Amino acid sequence: MIEYVHAGFGHYFITSNSDEVSALDKGAFAGWARTGFQFNADAVAAPQSAPVCRFFSAAFAPKSSHFYTNLQYECDLAKTYPAWTFEGEVFNIPSAAAD
């Protein structure tokens, strides 16, 4: 996962999608730059992992925003809000075992 920041918005964005990385690095979305931080995540589900849902909203104009969650109930709830567009399960992260 590669982290980007938009200094003017004070927003951060993470992705490992090669098309998104390429577009961001080429300046297709003005204002975004790599922070230099990155972390590993699983591309597919693994034992003891949880998918991370990603949502996008332009309802905060002139700023846009992304929301990430690995909690299924939050993912399901966010899907009910018209201001948020579900972009998919974008990566998987380790999760604690259920109690």
Which pLDDT score is estimated for 96? 65
**pLDDT at position 97:** 55
Res 99: pLDDT? 40
Q: How far apart are CA 99 and CA 94, in angstroms?
A: 15
Q: What is the pLDDT of residue 78?
A: 96
Give pLDDT, residue 94: 84
Task: Give me the pLDDT at residue 83, please.
Answer: 94
**How many angstroms separate the most distant Cα atoms in the chain?**
45
Task: Name residues of the chain where pLDDT drops below 70.
Answer: 96-99
